[in-house]
Amino acid sequence: MIGNKIKLIPPCGEKCLLLHVCCAPCSAAIIEALMANGITPIIYYYNPNIYPKEEYYKRKEEITTYANHLGLQVVDGDYDYNVWREEVSGLEREPERGARCLKCFRMRLLQSASYAKENGIKLFSTTLASSRWKDINQIFAAGRYAADTVGDVVFWDQNWRKGGLYERRNQLLRQEGFYNQLYCGCEFSINANKRETSE
């Protein structure tokens, strides 16, 4: 099991963190590695960008079922796609990994940081940093922005693609029979990511 082989040293020596998750395939290997290192993640599902709503609920149900099986706490953020559309208004024609994605990351991680602070959780991170479809530098910048804006919380900018975690992700995807979506989530990414996957 890869999780047992990866040494994770969280900032400030924290043994609990709020883990913003996007889906089960991107989260399972990370959760496994955290728990193998004695770190308890509180699963925070806040993804108002996901379209259509049936896709949102499919992804939410799967990660919730997986986390519950592991005995982990799951926090369900509000789903309001219209609020997300307002947030990225004017950026509809931006390419993937462009300004719209950064705005989306900031919105979701700002909400994550706020929840962490309100509930006395010092550390937060996100499984978005495991996705091959996203710019990890944008994600880290958004996480630091969220931490600085909220204050009194720390963003853990761990590269969740390294140390065998991406390979373990694919193993768990097959082992657990996870639904493997072909786009990152929002309506603008559907065709873009399908094209990228077929190339």
The angle subtended at Cα 92 by Cα 87 and Cα 96, nearest 5°, is 100
Residue 3 has pLDDT above 50, yes or no: no
- pLDDT value, residue 5: 77
Instruction: Provide the pLDDT for residue 190.
Output: 87
As a whole number of angstroms, the distance between CA 21 and CA 42 comes to 10
Q: State the Cα–Cα distance between residues 125 and 12, nearest whole angstrom.
A: 13
Residue 19's pLDDT is 98
Q: Which of 30, 70, 26 is nearest to 47 (CA)?
A: 26
Q: How far apart are CA 187 and CA 171, in angstroms?
A: 28
Least confident of 138-142, 174-178, 189-193: 189-193
**CA angle at 27 for the pair 76 and 190, rounded to the nearest 5°:** 80
* Cβ-Cβ contacts under 8 Å for 61 (sequence gap 6 or more): none
Percent of the chain with pLDDT over 70: 93
Q: Which one, of 35, 33, 49, 38, lies nearest residue 13 by Cα?
A: 38
Interval 92-110 mean pLDDT: 96
pLDDT > 70? residue 198: no
**Once rounded to an integer, what is the mean pLDDT over residues 166-188?**
92
Look at residue 55 in the predicted model and tell me its pLDDT: 96
- Overall average pLDDT of the 60-72 stretch: 97
How many other CB atoms are there within 10 angstroms of residue 175's CB atom? 10
Mean of per-residue pLDDT scores for the chain: 92
- Where do we find the tokens 């799967």? 62
Weakest mean pLDDT among 11-25, 69-83, 99-113, 128-142: 128-142
Higher pLDDT, 70 or 196: 70
Question: How high is the pLDDT of residue 132?
Answer: 77
pLDDT attached to residue 199: 38
pLDDT at residue 195 tops 50: no
Q: Structure pTM? A: 0.93
Residue 39: pLDDT over 70: yes
pLDDT at residue 178 greater than cutoff 70: yes
